[in-house]
Amino acid sequence: MEQTTMEFNVLSQSLRNHVERLATKPRPPGTREHQAAREYIVNHLKQCGFTVKILPYQESGFTCINILTEAIPGDARLPLVIIGAHYDSIPDSPGADDNGSAVAALLELARWIRPHLDRGPFKARLQLAAYDLEEYGLVGSFIHSRELAKSGTSLRGMISLEMLGFTDPRQGSQMMPPQLMGRYPTVGNFIGIVGNEASADLLQTATAGMKSVPGLPVEFIAVPGDGKLLGETRLSDHSSFWDRGFPALMITDTSFFRNPHYHKESDTPDTLDYDFLAKVTAGVCAATLKLLQ
């Protein structure tokens, strides 16, 4: 996804607009804000030219409402690429980074990639997903991955977009789990890609796409098995797919290892770095296109 400076500026402003619409107040399930976020996402995806399915479920005492686009191209023989982000928040946080930033990136991916999907040919088909109830036990992605497993769907890979917009240029701003200390930068200005060993090919392709964006520092890790040896790597919707044997990744600004506003009232739109988020979004676009080709 090649971008001029002017285009990056436009993308940065579009992302800010999305986050400000989505994350001015908390949006836990059942609230007006939760419904408004869902409607905003659905309307944008439809405006981009996607057919959208709004799927309510009752699961473990929760009402979960996932938003899925119909896969393009429509050839069910092709494996599926899923790009997803959760749209709910915890009750006490407006969730600008967690996860308004990722939903904003998903919406701009939809806008950018839809014209490309008519050109082809592709070796995979694309589905976009806005998952509900990630904050309440990964419920939305648990349901989606279960349905894909039951139907025997072939999956090229799933990418979970999870907190994409916070940076801190100060030395020592980036923390890591003890097992990883010394292996990664100590300045919080990079985007991280988390895969498992079974997702090695997916990780390689996505990382190459992300690294194609000038000025975007990218770090990656492949963890053993289902990630339980390094539990922090499981804290998003990709782990629902790992648990069913599907290849999956998380793209993240590393959450509470960098962002002091995580799950707090202070996770507001004004705390994000929208120029960085624009580069990350461009990287997601490039990675997605590579996975389809």
Mean per-residue pLDDT over the chain, rounded: 96
- Tell me: the pLDDT tens digits for 23-77? 999 999 999 999 999 999 999 999 999 999 999 999 888 899 999 999 999 999 9
- Average of per-residue pLDDT across 238-251: 98
* pLDDT score for 60: 82
pLDDT at 16: 98
In the chain, domain spans: 5-292
Residue-wise burial string across 172-210, b where 16 or more C-beta atoms lie within 10 A, e elsewhere:
ebbebeeeeeeebeeebbbbbbbbbebbeebbebbbebb
Reduce the DSSP state of residue 263 to 3 states and report it. coil
- Region 3-30: mean pLDDT is 91
Residue 1 pLDDT exceeds 90: no
pLDDT digits (tens, 9 = 90+) for 93-118: 999 999 999 999 999 999 999 999 99
5-292 placed in CATH 3.40.630.30: no
In this prediction, residue 62 carries a pLDDT of 87
| Residue 228 clears pLDDT 70, i.e. is over it | yes
DSSP string, 196-213: EGGGHHHHHHHHHHHHTS
What does the alpha-carbon distance between residue 207 and residue 220 come to, in Å, rounded to a whole number? 7
What's the whole-number mean pLDDT along residues 276-285?
98
